[in-house]
């Protein structure tokens, strides 16, 4: 039996043309979404200002990377967040500009 499947490049739900501006009040939480699909399922990587995001007490990465949650936003959390969806079929990314507002 010959199994044949087609590769589908990663797709991400949302507007990918321009960075999405997100604002969060200091000490509040913020969730960024990366609803990606493709065949094979893409691997999702989050970057902040070009550096891979590491999950810690204040940052949770859930659902295999489809959600990044900042638990209690601080000044240090301001910046550009990029979710990169990568597979053998290609690569796609979505960008967020996060601004942390004072109380």
Express each pLDDT in 15-68 by its tens digit.
788 899 999 999 999 999 999 999 999 999 999 999 999 999 999 999 999 999
pLDDT at 3: 56
Q: Catalogue the E-assigned strands of 3-102.
A: 8-12, 20-25, 30-33, 36-39, 43-48, 51-52, 59-62, 67-70, 79-87, 90-101
């Amino acid at each position: 039996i010959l199994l044949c499947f087609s590769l589908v490049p990663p797709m991400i739900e949302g507007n990918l043309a321009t960075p999405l501006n997100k604002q969060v009040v200091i000490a509040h939480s913020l969730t960024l979404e990366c609803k990606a699909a493709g065949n094979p399922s893409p691997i999702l990587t989050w970057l902040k200002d070009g550096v891979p995001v590491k999950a810690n007490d204040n940052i949770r990465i859930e659902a295999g990377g489809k959600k990044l949650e900042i638990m209690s936003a601080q000044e240090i959390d301001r910046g550009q967040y990029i979710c990169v969806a990568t597979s053998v079929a290609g690569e796609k990314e979505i960008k967020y500009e996060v601004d942390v507002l004072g109380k």
